[in-house]
Amino acid sequence: MKHSWLHQLQWQKERLIVFCNGWGMDGRPFQHLGASETDVLMLFDYRDLSLDCDLAALCKRYQSVFLVSWSMGVWVGQQIFRSWSHCLSGAVAINGTLCPIHDHFGIPVAVYGATLEQLDATSLLKFYRRMCRERKILDTFLVHQPQRSVENQRNELAALQEMARCEGCETAIYQDILIADQDLVFPASNQLAFWQRGQDGQRVHSMKGSHFPFYDWKSWDDLLNAAVEAI
């Protein structure tokens, strides 16, 4: 796994967002998101889940730490922070579940397998179309698409297929769940079926949009304030 600071100012910020990115991504698609009140640390490239940053030090450094996970990053964030949930002030899942490759609770098994088997530059563009859904969103995304090789992305997809085992939502560290009503990657109906069995205190929010909803926010502060009911 890799990490990168999307926002880190020289003076101390009180709040940190740890962002578990989706499969195949880097920081380029998120350059439009500013951060005036928050440092943002991105985790990505899940060919393995070994973490090369010190979670204990981060928990001590900031007054509040929030986890924001998207897509396959929802499952990854659960694995990383399972033992560190006590240091989180909140955790948000966006368009993902803890059962990420599943016919009823995640990405359908055949769809995931076909994506892996057929992955090349042409099929990747088709995936981005499905992810963005609207032409305007796709055009903007393609200007800032990830700069990773198809082979690198394929290896990550294969690794996640091997690692991603289902967990029940009763084990989830996430309190706030955002589900886009037009998600064509993690079908919205599958997400709802998974999270509706959740524990007391979890809040499931439906929103308009596609699997990639990030152009709805101007900053990470806006995203967090919209997703978490009380900060």
Mean pLDDT estimate for the chain: 93
Q: What is the pLDDT of residue 197?
A: 73
Half-sphere exposure of 154 (CA within 13 A, CB side): 13
Query: Does residue 14 have a pLDDT over 50?
Result: yes
Q: Give the model's confidence band at 10: pLDDT under 50 very low, under 70 low, under 90 confident, else very high.
A: low
| Averaged pLDDT, 18-22 | 98
Higher pLDDT, 228 or 55: 55
Query: Does residue 34 have a pLDDT over 50?
Result: yes
Residue pLDDT, tens place only, 60-104: 989 999 999 999 999 999 999 998 888 999 999 999 999 999 999
Residue pLDDT, tens place only, 138-166: 999 999 999 999 999 999 999 999 999 99
Q: Backbone dihedral region of 48: left (phi > 0), alpha (psi from -120 to 50 degrees) or beta?
A: beta
List Cβ neighbours of 70 (8 Å cut-off, separation of 6 or more).
Answer: 19, 20, 21, 22, 94, 95, 96
Q: Distance between terminal CA atoms of the chain?
A: 29
Q: What is the Cα–Cα distance from 22 to 46, expressed in whole angstroms?
A: 9
Query: Does residue 12 have a pLDDT over 80?
Result: no
pTM: 0.95
Percent of the chain with pLDDT over 90: 82
| Averaged pLDDT, 194-201 | 79
Q: Give the model's confidence band at 229: pLDDT under 50 very low, under 70 low, under 90 confident, else very high.
A: low
Q: What is the pLDDT of residue 201?
A: 75
Query: Does residue 199 have a pLDDT over 70?
Result: no
Q: What is the pLDDT of residue 231?
A: 41
Query: Does residue 230 have a pLDDT over 50?
Result: no
Name the domain count of the chain: 1
Q: What is the pLDDT of residue 24?
A: 98
Longest dimension (CA), the chain: 48
CATH number at residue 47: 3.40.50.1820
Domain span at residue 127 reads: 2-227
Higher pLDDT, 119 or 202: 119
